[in-house]
Each structure stands twice: as C-alpha cells, then as structure tokens.
Amino acid sequence: MARDYTINRVPANAPSNIDYEKELNDSQFDAVTAPPGPALVIAGAGSGKTRTLTYRVAYLLDNGINPKNILLLTFTNKAAREMLERVEELVSSNTADLWGGTFHSIGNKILRRHAARLGWETGFSIMDREDQKELMQSVIAESKIDVKETRFPKPDVLGNMFSLAENTSETLDEVVELRYPYFYHLMEQIEGLHVAYEEKKKDTNSMDFDDLLVKTLLLLKENKDICEIYQKQFEFVLVDEYQDTNQVQAEMIDLLGMPQKNVMVVGDDAQSIYSWRGADFRNILEFPDRYEDTKRYVIETNYRSVPEILTFANAAIAPNREQFKKNLAPARPDRDMLPALVPVADVSTQAQFVAQRILELRDEGIELEEIAILYRAHYQSMEIQMELTRRGVPFFITSGLRFFEQAHIKDVASFIKFAANRRDEIAFKRIVKMLPGFGAKTADNLWRSWRGSEGAQAEVIGTFSEYLLDFKVPKKGEKAWEQLAYTLDELISAEGELYPPVAMISSIANGVYDDYMRSKFPNYDNRIQDIRQLERYSEGFEDVAEFLSQLSLLAGQDAVGATQEESDKESVCLSSVHQAKGLEWRVVFVVWLAEGMFPNARVLDEDGEDESGLEEERRLFYVAVTRAKDELYLLYPNMWHGAHNGNVIQRPSRFLEDIPTDLVEEWRVGGNPW
C-alpha cells in the first residue's frame, strides 16, 4: 500500500515582514491571503486592483512558493512591469524566475521552446501590423484573385477578419457575414486567402500576434507531455483584467490552471467593454461554473472618487441584469457638489460650455492636464476641438488624429479641392490612387493627360466625364474610373458652378469613395460617421473656398491640438471612453449623452433579445463616470442638426433617465445678451 508523504515548503529568502492586515483594507486582505483553490476577485473601479494582485504575489512568495511556480498574466507590458517592480520593492526574494507578462509575451516564451512541434523553427519572426500587411499583400499577389476587377478587402481588413475568427468562437464565414456583409459574396476567395496566408507564415517561419496565443493553445492541446510540464510548473496562476479575456485566453488559463485549480482571476465585470475586439464577457460571469468551489471576493472601497460621484456610478450600472452586484463605497469625504447634468440647446452650445467651464476651472486652480472630455465615438469631438482651438485651449487626443487630419477626411477634401481648383495636382493624384489598380505611375500619366485637355484649360466646364472618359486607363480599372468621373460630375452644376459643400460631401460619400472605404478601412462604420459629421459641419458654408480654407486652418493648429506623444505641456485630454479605461482625472466632461449617440444606435439595432449590446453600452457609461475624481459634468444637446433631415429634437440618453434626480444637479445654460 502506497504512503503519502508531503514536503513542507521552506522560503528561498527571508520573509518580507509585510504587515498585510495593516497595509490592506479588509476586502483586499481577504483576497490577498486567500487559501489555495480557485478565486474570483471582483475589484470595483478605483478599488486598488493592482495593489491586491501585487500583494498576492508577495504573499505567495512569503509562504514559500518558488517564483518560477507563479504565472502572472496581464494585458499590457506596462501593467506587468508595474506589478513586478512593486513586488520587488515589497519582498527580499529574487523574482527573476517569476513568469510575469502579457498573454502574448508568455505565449512567445513557450513557443520559443517548442515551436518545432508545430512545424516552425524556434527562431521564428514575429510580425507587427506592417509586416503582416506586407505578407498579406504577397499572398494576394500570388493568388489568382483579380483584386483589380472588384473592390476586394485590403490587407488590413483581411487581417481584422482573420484575427476575429481566431480569437472568438465565430468561424471566418460568420465573422464576414455578421461584421463585413458587403464582402460576403467574396467568401470563397477570402477563405482561400486565409489558407494561403497560414501556409505563407509557415514557409517564412513567421508568426503574427494572434499566433502567439492561438499557436500556444494549439501546442498545449496537441502535446500532452508539454502541457503537463507547464501545468506542474505553474502551481499558482494569477490573471489581471480577466473580464477582457477572449475565448483563446480563457482556454489557455483553464488548460494551465485546471489541474491544480490555484487560479485567481481579478477583474470587474462592470468594466467589460471590448466585445468588438473579441473579449467575451461570459468568461468572468461563468468562472464560478467552470471552477467548482470558487471563492468570491468583492473589493468595493473606492479611493478615487468623491461619494457623490460613486453614488451616481452605482445607480448608473444598477439596471444591468448580467452582473455581479457590487456597491462602490467611498474612502474620501463628501465634497458637497453633485454631478452636473447639463442639457444644452445644440452641439455648438455644448462645445462652448465645455470650453468656457474648462477656462473657469483653470482659474480656480485645476491644471488642464487634470481635465478630460470623454465621448462614445471620435467624431463627436469635432465641434469641441474647433471651440478649444478658437479659444486657445491646448489639448491632446488619445482617440485618434485631430479630426481634420484623418485620412478619410483629407480624402473627401481632395475631391472638393480638385473640383474647385482643376490645377490641383496633389488632390487629383490622391483621388486617382484610391482606385483599384491605379498606382503612382498611372496617376502621373493621367495628370499629364488632364493638364493637356481642354477641361483643364476651359474657364467653365459642364462635366468632368466628357474629358476623363476619353483617357486611356488600365482595362481592369475602367469601371472604377468611370465611377470617379461621374462622382466628380455630381460636384458641379450643368453650368459648371460648384454645389455647396454639404451637397458635394454627400455625393462623394455615396459615390466612388464609399466602395473605397469599405475595402480600405477595418473600421468603416466609424469613418462614415466622421464623414457625416463633416457633412453637418459643412452646412454652415455656402462658399466652397471658405469651407476649404477653414479645413486647412483647423488641421494646421499644431500649437493647440496634438497627440499625446506630441504634447509636452499642460493640455486637456480628449478621449473616447474605450481609451480612457484605466485612467483618471480630477474633472471629467462626458458629452453627447443623447439617445442614439450614447448608447450607440447601431449597437442597439444589432442587439438581440438578451440586450447584451445595451448592457455593454451601459458598462461603457459606467467606465466614463468612474474616471472622475472630483467633478463630473454630463452633457446632452436638445437639438441636433442632421445633414439630411434638418433639426432633430433629441432625447437624453436612457442612461441619464435611469438616475434618480436627487443624485444630480441640473445646470440651466443660457446666453449672455451682451
């Protein structure tokens, strides 16, 4: 009969002498000192999630766990560095052997040892997005698909399709049908390219970032001996931001941690906002179902925000049905200032209020870098960018380029520029090179043909097509060239007069440029919203020259608007809510809180009976309001001028209607008659 014998652990170094009870609040202490076994730690916004994970690692080391037997998984290199540095400050143990890093970096580390099992050499190259694009272009060039005959998805778009299929439970067919329906008729060719792309990566001994997850999971599933090595090594698995895991990441965690079940996942279901890039909200909700005897720890003490903001935040997330109920409790004293609910007449007034209030806050001693303006979609920042520019308020943007510097905005402007100035070579070549099969050489030849034509010399022309359609173009691009010519025709009247900018933009967006955007940009929906916003802005101009001048001036305000990397001075932050997650400011303005804007109408239209889309939108709203430490301003315009349907009366967001009126102070905004 066999006898069990247990070896007692002996710490490799002297204990750290951390007084865990003194250093942590009660909820944090319970999680940090949890016994072995599966643990779900729900850490509310601003509750010290990083501190909890850091002390958990220190606690394991203090209790004799060898660093090499700990796996700490994070989503960013910054988070991994921060936690490991804090652990080193806390304990005397040498933590060099601790496996800490992003999912991708851990996958890379495993694949470097065992890639041969999958047919790769261990010295494989890791492709960044640009490398991936070039390899995809090579695959397309080697295929027999005639991408010049039709609008075929560009490499970036194909890469997004393949990535979503790899990281979700959807097949490639489902991804294209649901998310890119305008390419579904090309499904057979897309699937063929996917196969060819996988073969090309193996031929060139290269992997993309998705492979670092997908191939690691495949390696562990298909090689039991290798899997057992890591299962035995990783006695304790800790996961940060678990609510953001996709299916592949969750399977990897389960595969490595399931045998010993010493898996602690930390996250906040109320901040799960990335389903559009493959994150699966069900992972955190169903963790207790997958791991029997899971102990749940809820950390609710918030050290960031004043009580008035926390009470509002708790009310904001309460209507969601699918959630772990929690109630953020303040560690800070009352400030005697409720969140401000600010209905305004229109989007212009919204921008004026934000800009004026920011200047007042600066006079009150709040630095500009402690102020943020958050919105659901990047295009909603346009009027605010313009107003801040007019008032000389410096700002930087985390949600993308300045509105008027984005490629698709400049593309649309090029059509208008050429219609207004038939000698504009740069604008002409830019729009020509958008066409499939038209490169720089073809653009040069066509420019010479245009400059020598009567159309370029005539004082007034009736149509562009009467000249352009006579030019020699690549046979496979004839259809696209014809469409371009007719789109340009729509920019001028029969008498050769320019139509107003709003009519021009509508013709461009609904003509040849729409096909180009669908094939070129992975985020087509966001970009078309930007163009619709530009269309609305253009309604204030009858004169095309004045409109183009304003675009150029607003795009050139380098001293005012900058990206975060460019900004080296005190500046207000403009950000989408998605990119604001994890950040905090003393003062936060959440704008465009109107129904259909936030929550987003498209998400609501696509929502199923489970209201998963609406619930994610509400979580996004929750993330926005919990960024504020001291003051929170919630704005919505009562009137919105649609480009095609005139003035539209807007309802406030349903998220605002869910909030008891005694939790906010309404500000009535009026104009100064003087």
> Is the pLDDT at 489 greater than 70, yes or no?
yes
Report the share of the chain in percent with pLDDT over 70: 93
φ and ψ at 123, to 5 degrees?
-90, 25
The residue annotated as part of the active site, out of 166, 241, 383, 630, is 241
In the residue annotation, 202 being an active-site residue is answered as no
Which tokens sit at 390? 């007019």
pLDDT digits (tens, 9 = 90+) for 265-298: 999 999 999 888 889 989 999 999 999 999 999 9
Whole-number mean pLDDT of the chain? 88
Q: Tokens 């943007």 — which residue?
A: 397
* Three-state secondary-structure class, residue 70: strand
Q: Is 28 a catalytic residue?
A: no
271 a catalytic residue: yes
Inter-residue contact 467 to 454 (CB < 8 Å) = yes
Residue of 30, 33, 50, 346 marked active site: 50
φ, ψ dihedrals at 534, nearest 5°? -60, -40
Specify the range with the lowest mean pLDDT, choosing from 116-120, 284-288, 667-671: 667-671
pLDDT tens per residue, range 143-193: 878 776 667 888 888 999 999 998 887 899 999 998 888 889 999 999 999
**Local confidence band at 563 (pLDDT 50, 70, 90 cut-offs):** very low
What pLDDT, on the 0 to 100 scale, is given for residue 111?
A: 92
CA distances (Å), 24 to each of 70, 233, 303, 332, 402, in order? 22, 29, 12, 16, 43
pLDDT of residue 560: 43
In this prediction, residue 544 carries a pLDDT of 87
CB 435 within 8 A of CB 520: no
| Per-residue H/E/C for 421-463 | CCCCHHHHHHHHCCCCCCCHHHHHHHHHHHHCCHHHHCCCCCC
Backbone φ and ψ of 265, nearest 5°: -110, 135
Beta bridge partners of 267: 42
CA angle 447, 453, 457 (to 5 degrees): 105
* 317-355 residue pLDDT tens: 999 999 999 899 999 999 889 999 999 999 999 999 999
Can you tell me the distance from the alpha carbon of 586 to that of 370, in angstroms, rounded to the nearest whole number?
5
Catalytic residue among 376, 536, 627, 629: 627
Reply yes or no on whether the pLDDT at 551 is more than 80. Answer: no
pLDDT at 565 over 60: no
Helix (H, G, I), strand (E, B) or coil at 216: helix
Identify residue 262 by its one-letter amino acid code.
N
Tokens representing residue 553 in the block: 């001036």
How many residues does this entry show for the chain?
Answer: 674
* Confidence check: pLDDT of 11 > 60: no
CB atoms inside a 10 Å sphere around CB 669: 16
Q: Which three-class secondary structure state does DSSP give residue 402?
A: coil
CA atoms within 13 A on the CB side of 455: 24
Which burial class, exposed, middle or buried, applies to 195 when counting CB atoms under 10 A from its CB (0-12, 13-18, 19+)? Answer: exposed
Structure token digits, residue 144: 């027999």
Beta strand 371-375 with 572-576: parallel, antiparallel or unpaired? parallel
Residue 380, SS3 per DSSP: helix
pLDDT band of 379, cuts 50, 70, 90 = confident
Task: For residue range 397-437, list pLDDT tens digits in order.
Answer: 885 667 777 888 888 988 988 888 888 888 888 899 888 87
CA 219 to chain centre: 30
* Contacts (Cβ under 8 Å, ≥6 apart) of 16: 58, 61, 62, 90, 91, 92, 93
Based on C-alpha coordinates, what's the Rg of the chain?
Answer: 28
Name the pTM for this structure. Answer: 0.81
50 is catalytic: yes
pLDDT score at 460: 81
Catalytic residue among 166, 208, 240, 280: 240
Higher-scoring residue by pLDDT: 201, 550: 201
Taking only the tens place, the pLDDT of each residue in 574-623 is: 999 999 998 999 999 999 999 999 998 888 877 666 688 899 999 999 99
User: Model confidence at 645, in pLDDT bands (50, 70, 90)?
Assistant: low
Q: Cα–Cα distances in Å, from 159 out to 131, 190, 217, 579?
A: 11, 11, 20, 22
Cα 572 from Cα 182, distance rounded (Å): 39
Beta bridge partners of 637: 344
Confidence of residue 640 (pLDDT cuts 50, 70, 90): confident
647: three-class secondary structure by DSSP? strand
The most distant pair of C-alpha atoms in the chain lies apart, rounded to whole Å, by: 105
- Determine the distance from the C-alpha atom of residue 260 to the mean position of all C-alpha atoms in its chain, rounded to a whole number: 35
Torsion of CA 437, 440, 444, 447, to 10 degrees: 60
Q: What is the DSSP track for 274-343? A: -GGGT--THHHHTHHHHSTT-EEEEE-EESSS-HHHHHHHHHHHTT-SSS-----EESSPP-S-PPEEEE
What pLDDT is recorded for position 558?
42
Show the tokens assigned to 289. 């179902």
Q: Are 581 and 273 in contact (CB under 8 A)?
A: yes
Which one, of 587, 573, 666, lies nearest residue 630 by Cα? 587
pLDDT digit string (tens) for 32-71? 999 999 999 999 999 999 899 999 999 999 998 999 999 9
Separation CA 658–CA 650 (nearest Å):
17
Question: Could you tell me the two tokens for 356?
Answer: 């004026």
Cα–Cα dist 90/17, whole Å: 9
Q: Which of 74, 168, 216, 271 is catalytic?
A: 271
Beta bridge partners of 631: 587
